Chain A
Amino acid sequence: MAEAGLAALWLAAALALAQLALAGLGLRRPELLGSVRPVAVTQGALVAFAMAMLMGVFWTSDMSVRLVATNSHSAKPLLYKVTGAWGNHEGSMLLWVTILGLAGAAVAWFERRLDERTLVATLGAQGLIALGFYAFLLFSSNPFARLNPAAPEGLGLNPVLQDPGLAFHPPTLYAGYVGLSVAFSFAVGALVTRDVGPSFARAMRPWVLAAWVLLTIGITAGSYWAYYELGWGGYWFWDPVENASLMPWLAATALLHSVTVLATRDGLRAWTVMLAVVAFSMSMLGTFLVRSGILTSVHAFAVDPERGAFILALLGLYIGGALALFAARIGAVRSGAPFDLVSREAGLVANNLLLSVILGIVLIGTLYPLAAAAFGAQLSVGPPFFNKTAGVIALVLVALIGAGPLIRWRRDDGQAVLGRMTWPIAATLFTAAGLFAFNGPMSPLPFLGLSLAVGLAVASIVPLLGRNLRRTPLFTWGMVLAHLGVAVSLAGMASDAAFTDERLVAARVGERTNVGPYAVTLLGIAPRIGENWTALEGRLTAERDGEATPLHPQSRFFSDPATTTSESAILTTADGQLYAVLGQPDGQGQWQLRLWWKPYVTFIWLGGALIALGGALSLLGRLGRERRTRMREVWA
């Protein structure tokens, strides 16, 4: 099975080369143009076959394959055996290129709007990207390498990764990254044929939207996973790996808004193309930062550091080139119709610039410790830095999100915009005054965050006022929901920062502890046995208003490899979450308990889900409208 997979991988690599070459020749010799689409489709099928073979050897626990022997174990649950195929460096790179190949095949199969030459150039760029990944896999990260003699048993998978979330987290993020690679290829294709215009923007937009939705889901799910799995109630750590997923999202968010200007107003041409380049650079950077082993993290599977350093050097050149190109082109932004200082376009330009500044800050803050280490200075850049810089700018951006959709395209009157902003501004001031009067002094960021979140929630609804809701297009609903999601998520973050109640106690059986509105009692400790772990389980009961709910946090011990994890118990209610963790015994009958009452913390991920839903509705709305337009053209 492993050899079949390897053969398919070599064939797919050869086809990627053919795809690039045919596209290059086809631009000069039109008779070759028609051959590129079938090649792209076949390449996608072959690499998908290789991925299926890898999942197959993991499924059957074939210990004669080196990757299986070092990353799997025959006693693992079947789900984690199969998903373990991408719980390691080689497998995750193969998954990346598989999704890339499938996306290329989808572009070749479905895309009919774009000029044929631009499409072929796009597929050529896809072939080039894939070729780099194939070379990397085949020459330095072969997932199908055999082990002779076969290992008697595997070394096992990191227990932290044995979670249903892992099954879907990497594929979701990778699909998002790859969506951005398609946007990048469209941008390169359009540059090659000098065909940067609304039709190119409309072809690219669904891919950007889909990638953005998937990245949003991936980040939201990853954040919730860290929250319940790590056992300390934190949901975002400004950890380099998290930043690596945030940077492509920031770039994709900017791209999403500028591509709309290009599609509707034929403005921001060069800027949109360059954002597509930056967005893809960020997803490449993210993948390699995480995969190169240069960062210590649960995501960085043990890898040869030289391999990582080599890739990073290449990437530095690549991104440096992309940014140089960006700098050279930004001066040549050729706009369509002109617009005023007060206009939707100007608002979107401000949105793009602020997002880019935040992206730049996150990028510098993430890479700075690495650069400093190269000069012999050991330092850490973490939450305080990002909150003081990117956090403050993000709050300005939040205010802008509220205003943007209330401004008309091309030209608007400042007074009129302020008039439409009356209710949101009033809501913000009212919340601020209320917090000040009833809660007393607060830290500035949560205070501003809560006030602006309420204002944005009101502002995001305003575009629907006075409209016939049944005739409002889906993509308008999408925008409203996504902006509302930002407000909801921000409110959750601010509430968690300002109002969390923490209790750390060493409790005896029968002892009560008050946390937030709850009284928590330790009833006892019981042993539990799972498929490949044993655990001590705390029997807690949480009482609120006379109603008792059981809570069962666990301390789990895995044997292959030997590790302890804490499984938190979380009680979710409409107004927040009670979060309980069982710690160590002190040997004298006391057990450490960590208890948190986190009011409205669920809003963080609810907001993320709303943002993703908004993006999905918008995507459906755009695709639906295009299909209707095409139907009309056919009938006309």
Chain B
Amino acid sequence: MSAVLALLAAVATPAPYAYVQLRDPAQEAQARALMAELRCLVCQGQSIADSDADMAGDMRSLVRERIAAGEEPAAVREWLIGRYGDYVTYDPPLSAATAPLWIAPILLLGLGAWIARASLKRRRG
């Protein structure tokens, strides 16, 4: 709840960690990697790591605060997905809706290998 309030209150002044890095370089690196994979919901196809929008700043601050509090990046991502839906993550979680997407590359590779094999056979035969 406090996080939601923080989001609402943060419209006027940037949230504390919107443009401030975490002290601990390891935690900052974790936060940075996660932010690059989260979508800025009000922008035109940018991650929250690459956006000047206020909302992106608020989300960056939220990610950094949670990581600083010791949460795992995966847990932070889960929390954001619970709040904003799958749309917020650029790494679509495996589900019934995304299964075809994740299976497609494997199918394509298989198809490629099959075509290569078939064409080689014909050339030999």
Instruction: Check B82 for interface membership: any CB of A closer than 8 A.
Output: no
Contact A502:B32 (CB < 8 A) given known A335-B123, A360-B108: yes
A504 touches B47 (CB 8 A): no
Instruction: Check A506 for interface membership: any CB of B closer than 8 A.
Output: yes
Nearest CB of A to B18, in Å: 9
Contact A333:B119 (CB < 8 A) given known A361-B108, A378-B87: yes
A380 touches B101 (CB 8 A): no
Question: B89-115, CB under 8 A of A: which get 1 and which 0?
Answer: 111100001101100110011011101
Instruction: Check B19 for interface membership: any CB of A closer than 8 A.
Output: yes
Instruction: Indicate the member of A330, A365, A380, A381 with the most B CB atoms within 10 Å.
Output: A380
Q: How far is the CA of A378 from the CA of B95 in the complex (A)?
A: 13
**Which among B37, B39, B97 is the interface contact of A377 at CB below 8 angstroms?**
B97
Contact A594:B19 (CB < 8 A) given known A357-B109, A377-B97, A379-B97: yes
Instruction: Check A583 for interface membership: any CB of B closer than 8 A.
Output: yes
Instruction: Check B52 for interface membership: any CB of A closer than 8 A.
Output: yes
Contact A506:B19 (CB < 8 A) given known A237-B50, A379-B92, A383-B90: yes
Instruction: Check B70 for interface membership: any CB of A closer than 8 A.
Output: no
B side interface size, CB within 8 A:
44
A residues near B86, Cβ cutoff 8 Å: 377-380
Instruction: Indicate the member of B45, B51, B88, B98 with the most A CB atoms within 10 Å.
Output: B45
Contact A330:B115 (CB < 8 A) given known A234-B50, A237-B47, A297-B44: yes
A296 touches B44 (CB 8 A): yes
In the complex, which residue of chain A has the Cβ closest to the Cβ of B87? A378
Instruction: Check B116 for interface membership: any CB of A closer than 8 A.
Output: yes
**Which among B14, B90, B119 is the interface contact of A385 at CB below 8 angstroms?**
B90
A384 touches B45 (CB 8 A): no
Q: How far is the CA of A317 from the CA of B115 in the complex (A)?
A: 25
A298 touches B21 (CB 8 A): no
Task: Spell out A's residues near B (CB within 8 Å).
Answer: 230-232, 234, 237, 239-241, 295-298, 330-331, 333, 335, 338-339, 341, 346, 349-350, 353-354, 356-357, 360-361, 364-365, 368, 372, 375, 377-385, 389-390, 393, 502-506, 566, 583-584, 586, 592, 594
Closest 7 CB pairs of A and B: A382-B90, A384-B91, A232-B50, A353-B112, A378-B87, A389-B105, A379-B86
Inter-chain pairs besides A382-B37, A506-B20, 7 sampled, C-beta below 8 Å: A232-B51, A333-B119, A353-B116, A365-B101, A380-B87, A382-B91, A586-B13
Listed A/B pairs (21) with beta-carbon separation below 8 Å: A231-B52, A234-B50, A298-B44, A338-B123, A341-B120, A357-B111, A357-B112, A360-B104, A360-B105, A361-B108, A368-B98, A368-B101, A379-B97, A381-B101, A383-B47, A383-B90, A384-B90, A385-B92, A506-B20, A586-B14, A592-B19
Task: Spell out B's residues near A (CB within 8 Å).
Answer: 13-14, 19-21, 32, 36-37, 39, 44-47, 49-52, 85-92, 97-98, 100-101, 104-105, 108-109, 111-113, 115-116, 118-120, 122-124
